[in-house]
A and B are shown apart, each in its own frame.
Chain A
Amino acid sequence: MRIALFVTCLMDQFRPEAAEATVSVLEHCGCEVVFDPRQTCCGQPAFNAGLHQEAIPVCRGAVRVLDDQITRGGCDAIVTPSGSCAAMFRHAIGLLDGEDAAAAKRVAEATHELSEFLVRRLQRIDVGASWPGRVAWHDACHGLRELGIKSEPRRLLEAVDGLDLVESSTCDRCCGFGGTFSVNLPGVSTGMADDKIDELETLGIDAIVSGDASCLMQLEGRLEARGSRIRGVHLAEILAAREPLTRANS
C-alpha cells in the first residue's frame, strides 16, 4: 500500500524523531511511504482562531498537495500522526470552495490517524516494538471525539514488549493546549494540564503517551516546569522502538 504522509507542522520542526518513527512503523508494516515536501500546515491554528482569511490559503495548500498524491501520485491513503490534523481536513470541506472543497472531501476520506490506520485499515496490532517502561495513554480530544479513536492506541501499546500500560482516570480530559487558547488564557490552560498531571503523578509512570505532538508539547512543558520525572512520548516513537528489555528482564 502506498501512503502519503502528512507530517504535522509542529512535529516536522520540533519532533522529527516522531515523524521518522511513523515512517518506520508504516514501512515495517509493508507500506511504501511518500512525503511531499510542498506540504506545510493544515491551517487549523488560524481556523480555530476564527481567522478564515488566514486559514484558507494554508489549508488549501495542504489539501492540494495531498489530493495530488491520491489522485495522481498513486497513493492509496493519507496517514498523519495527529488526530487533530486529520480532523481539520473534515473542516476543510466546509471552509474551501468549489474544486478545492471536492478535493478536501477526497483528502478527508483518505486521511487516517496513525493508530486508526494500523488497527482498522491494516489490522495490525503487534508491530514488533519493545519499550521497557510504565506508561499511561492520553486521549487527544480530536482523535477521541471527532474520529472516535479510543481502543486502537491502547491495543497497539498493550502489544509492545516490556511495556506496562496503566489507565488514568483523567485520560480523556483535555490537556489544555487548544492552540491560541494556550497563550490567550495561559492560567486556565496550565490549570487544565495540572488537573491531569496531579493524577498522573500518582500512577508511578515513566511516560505519558499521546498521538498528538501538540498535546505532548503542552504536557511536557508543564511537567518540566513542575519538575516532574514523567516525560512525554509520541505513540509512533514507542511503536518504532526496539529497545532491549533490560529492566523488564532483570
Chain B
Amino acid sequence: MNAPDRYERFVVPEGVKKVSYERDTKIINAASFTVEREDHTIGNILRMQLHRDPDVLFAGYKLPHPLQYKIIVRIHTTSQSSPMQAYNQAVNDLDKELDHLKNAFEAELAKHSREY
C-alpha cells in the first residue's frame, strides 16, 4: 500500500540536486561530492580515473547504505589542483574514453560484417 515507487531508486526527486559539493572544513583542497541516485557503476570508474591524476592525493567513494540511493566521492588534491578541477577532468576524460571506445567498436563491427 505505502510501498515507495520502484523508480525512486534511480530518478532524482524534484528539488534535489544531482551533485552537491562540500569543502572539507579542516583540510584545504579536500572535498566531498554527493551524487544522488548513482551507485558503483559511476562511483568506481570515477575513483579509478581520479587515481590516474598525479595531483590527486586521495580519491574514494562509498555507497553509505543500500537504501540510500546516493554515493559520496571524496577527493583530496595537491595545491597544484583542486577537487573540483580533478572531478571535472575525470568526468571529461571518461567521456572522451567512451567516445573513443564507441568509434573503436563501430569500426570493428563494420570490419566484422564485411568479413563474414
Q: Do A and B come from one complex?
A: no
> Which A residues contact B (CB, under 8 angstroms)?
none
> Which B residues contact A (CB, under 8 angstroms)?
none
